[in-house]
């Protein structure tokens, strides 16, 4: 085999002298990649190329931020156009109105739109808005859900040993980082997902103090875990009953599972929804949307949310070009991506079955994840913590690297099908997976 990572290794050694753990996010460092990361240099369509010249079919796609794949000509042209006539004014622009209109047309409940830059920012703003609008301080988040790295959210978001989690009815609150504002954390209530009784109990226990419940529509930070039948609708009913806002975090699912995200797919309209990743087609564009009455609380003198880079012209040019591609022909791209994800999932399942590998695949729309587990399904955070072999997944992904396929080495994240992928990429991946699994057996 002709797979070398000499330059990646050398770059890593150089990086360690100026960058903590060699990069700008812990998810790119040793916690996920082990000995050294792969330094990527170029992307084209469904492929990425690394510093040693290796080519990979890319299923990570910048954690789903590239719904059209790498360097899509329409997006590249839009960025070039913006670069030539001004990337940022921090002032009103027509493209801002146009993209807001595009979002309002496809996202359920998007009577008003506000742009930001990252999913974290959108979630921070959504929580402040919910608190300001309701005059209440607390909010409910779910075990294993990640809403960005803001203090209030960064607890019970990472996999932990199952014995450290406490009882389901009363989860131990586990900060995922040092340095968090403890007072902020006191207002965050953590409950298990896919468990309406737990939510009802928390709403009753904290009656009159809860501003909002925030949820991912599909759990995308513990692999891929779909909502139980009726769970999101039940959440909507409970929040209405208790006069509490529902925030749908669509950072992962927005412009991926359906044109209108999980709100469309599961027929549930939240009060506020947040978007990032796929929205910007590779540039930092995020947004939050919601009912006019709530969103109007953002007006001057109410709940403040600022940002020099908000609605940057370059970002929104890329967004507009990407949305035109994604939404054309009645959203046919979403059907194609879903069908391809099904083909990849079925192919992997057959392979695991034929080779006797204890592994399953879970997928929703274009999002899919492989779990090395002896369980028939992974239904929530506790299942993931107790029953998923994350180290085996990392070894599998490194073996895939050697055969020209790029997935995230973290079992807690997932793979994503884009417009750039085809059946050929699926087949190339299945061949690589067969070889990778064979090598793991020999180890």
227 near ligand PLP, rule: CB under 6 A:
no
Q: Which two tokens stand for residue 209?
A: 């103090």
- Of the residues 50, 58, 152, 249, only one is catalytic, namely 249
Active site residue 138: no
Site membership for ligand PLP, residue 148 (CB under 6 A): yes
Residues 347-386 that bind ligand PLP (CB under 6 A): none
Q: What x/- string results for residues 79 through 118 when contact with ligand PLP is judged by CB under 6 A?
A: ---------------------------------------x
User: Cα separation of 273 and 287, whole Å?
Assistant: 8
| Near ligand PLP by CB under 6 A: residue from 8, 134, 221, 319 | 221
Q: Does 120 bind ligand PLP (CB under 6 A)?
A: yes
- Asked whether 412 and 390 are in contact (CB, 8 A), the reply is yes
- Options 146, 381, 393, 406, the catalytic residue: 146
6 carries an active-site annotation: no
Structural contact between residues 255 and 279, judged by C-beta atoms closer than 8 angstroms? yes
Name the one range near ligand PLP by CB under 6 A: 2-10, 146-154, 166-174, 366-374. 146-154
Q: Give whichever of 352 and 381 is closer to ligand PLP, judged by the CB atom.
A: 381
Q: Does 54 engage in binding with ligand PLP (CB under 6 A)?
A: no
Of 195 and 249, which CB lies nearer to ligand PLP in the complex structure?
249
Q: Catalytic: 277?
A: yes
Q: Which of 147, 236, 390, 403 binds ligand PLP (CB under 6 A)?
A: 147
Compose the 232-251 pattern: x for residues touching ligand PLP by CB under 6 A, - for all others. Answer: -----------------x-x
Q: Please list the active-site residues.
A: 146, 249, 277
Note the residues at the interface with ligand PLP (CB under 6 A).
Answer: 63, 118-120, 123, 146-148, 216, 220-221, 249, 251-252, 276
């Amino acid at each position: 085999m002709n797979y070398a990572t000499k330059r990646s290794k050398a770059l890593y050694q150089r990086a360690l002298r100026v960058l903590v753990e060699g990069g700008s996010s812990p998810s790119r460092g040793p916690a996920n990649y082990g000995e050294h990361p792969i330094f990527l240099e170029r992307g084209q369509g469904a492929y990425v190329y690394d510093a040693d010249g290796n080519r990979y079919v890319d299923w990570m796609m910048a954690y789903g931020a590239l719904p059209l794949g790498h360097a899509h000509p329409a997006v590249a042209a839009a960025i070039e156009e913006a670069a030539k006539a001004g990337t940022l004014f921090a002032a009103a622009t027509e493209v801002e109105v146009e993209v807001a209109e595009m979002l309002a047309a496809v996202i359920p409940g998007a009577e008003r739109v506000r742009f930001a830059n990252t999913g974290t920012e959108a979630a921070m703003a959504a929580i402040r808005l919910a608190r300001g609008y309701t005059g209440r301080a607390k909010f409910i988040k779910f075990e294993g859900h990640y809403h960005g790295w803001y203090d209030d959210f960064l607890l019970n978001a990472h996999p932990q040993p199952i014995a450290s989690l406490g009882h389901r009815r009363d989860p131990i609150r586990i900060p995922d980082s040092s340095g968090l504002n403890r007072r902020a954390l006191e207002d965050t209530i953590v409950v298990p997902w896919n468990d309406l009784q737990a939510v009802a109990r928390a709403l009753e226990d904290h009656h009159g103090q809860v501003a909002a419940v925030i949820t991912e529509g599909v759990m995308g930070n513990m692999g891929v875990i779909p909502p139980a039948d009726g769970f999101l609708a039940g959440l909507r009913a409970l929040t209405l009953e208790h006069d509490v806002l529902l925030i749908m975090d669509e950072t992962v699912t927005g412009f991926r599972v359906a044109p209108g995200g999980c709100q469309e797919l599961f027929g549930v309209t939240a009060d506020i929804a947040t978007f990032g990743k796929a929205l910007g087609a590779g540039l930092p564009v995020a947004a939050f949307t919601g009912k006019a009455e709530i969103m109007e609380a953002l007006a001057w003198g109410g709940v403040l949310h600022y940002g020099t880079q908000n609605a940057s012209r370059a970002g929104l040019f890329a967004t507009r070009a990407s949305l035109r591609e994604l939404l054309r022909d009645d959203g046919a791209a979403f059907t194609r991506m879903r069908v391809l994800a099904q083909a990849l999932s079925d192919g992997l399942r057959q392979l695991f079955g034929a080779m006797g590998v204890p592994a399953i695949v879970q997928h929703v729309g274009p999002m899919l994840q492989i779990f090395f587990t002896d369980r028939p399904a992974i239904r929530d955070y506790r299942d993931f913590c107790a029953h998923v072999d994350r180290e085996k997944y990392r070894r599998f992904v490194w073996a895939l690297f050697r055969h020209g396929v790029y997935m995230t080495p973290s079992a807690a994240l997932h793979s994503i099908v884009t417009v750039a992928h085809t059946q050929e990429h699926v087949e190339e991946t299945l061949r690589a997976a067969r070889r990778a699994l064979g090598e793991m057996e020999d180890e």
